[in-house]
């Protein structure tokens, strides 16, 4: 969580500092190096390398990095890159300038009311932002919550079981773990939904419920789960949860 908070803060700080500089082409080029080009899934491969899934159809192949900085873990990440060629294709060779992982988790199962202590019921807001997106079997979100000053980590959970008939109807839960305050702050978090039970289709309707500052809310996303093929199973290592 701390990493995600620092990431957002750093981006905003860089944006404000650039605003006071002149708008020359050199300044614009410099700013382009700081802001993320895309949100991707970093997928390690069996040969020790990695690929980056840009969306449901486009795959990026890094030409200047042999190994993933995250080892065998599959994570969502912000990346800044330059395309080595500008041809329109589902496969793109790219030069990675920088990459920064996002906290990546799996959904959890609601067992009974004793789970409430773990999941919490503190308000949280899903921010309408370009990084709030459902793709490649992941739900990535920019979340906004109130933070205190005692540096206690907050926890965010995506909980299944709200609708036993639909595993893709989930509840976003926030536990501030006693860190009560009035400081608004944003974090980035991603949830891997590719292992939820499928109904025979890779395209699902994802419904998220959450307790916002204005009361209960819900929203539906169109989500394309990752299509698993024999080649995928052979080449891609299983996803791992960052703890």
* Domain-wise residue ranges, the chain: 2-102, 104-224
CATH number belonging to domain 2-102: 2.40.50.500
* Residue ranges for the chain with pLDDT beneath 50: 1-25, 229-243
The reported pLDDT for the residue numbered 149 is 82
Same fold: 2-102 with 104-224: no
pLDDT, the chain, mean: 83
- The tokens of 154 are what? 């907050």
pTM (global) more than 0.85: no
- Beta carbons of 144 and 127 less than 8 angstroms apart: yes
pLDDT at 33: 86
Nearest CA to 186 out of 103, 112, 106 is that of 103
Cα–Cα distance for residue pair 92/111, rounded to 1 Å: 43
- The pLDDT value given to residue 29: 61
The architecture of the domain spanning 104-224 is: Sandwich (2.60)
């Amino acid at each position: 969580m701390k990493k995600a908070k620092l990431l957002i803060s750093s981006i905003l700080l860089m944006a404000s500092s650039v605003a006071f500089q002149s708008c020359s082409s050199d300044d614009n080029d410099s700013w382009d190096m700081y802001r993320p080009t895309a949100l991707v899934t970093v997928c390690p491969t069996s040969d020790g390398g990695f690929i980056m899934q840009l969306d449901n159809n486009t795959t990026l192949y890094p030409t200047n990095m042999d190994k993933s900085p995250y080892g065998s873990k599959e994570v969502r990440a912000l990346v800044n890159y330059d395309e080595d060629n500008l041809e329109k294709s589902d496969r793109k060779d790219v030069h990675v300038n920088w990459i920064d992982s996002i906290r990546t988790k799996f959904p959890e199962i609601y067992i009974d009311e004793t789970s409430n202590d773990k999941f919490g019921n503190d308000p949280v807001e899903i921010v309408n932002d370009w990084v709030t997106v459902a793709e490649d079997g992941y739900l990535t979100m920019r979340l906004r919550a109130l933070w205190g000053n005692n540096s206690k980590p907050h926890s965010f959970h995506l909980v299944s079981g709200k609708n036993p008939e639909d595993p893709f109807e989930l509840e976003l839960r926030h536990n501030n773990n006693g860190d009560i305050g009035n400081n608004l702050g944003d974090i980035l978090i991603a949830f891997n939904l590719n292992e939820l039970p499928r109904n025979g289709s890779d395209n699902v309707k994802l419904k998220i419920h959450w307790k916002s500052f204005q009361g209960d809310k819900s929203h539906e996303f169109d989500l394309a789960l990752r299509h698993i093929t024999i080649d995928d199973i052979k080449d891609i290592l299983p996803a791992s949860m960052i703890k």
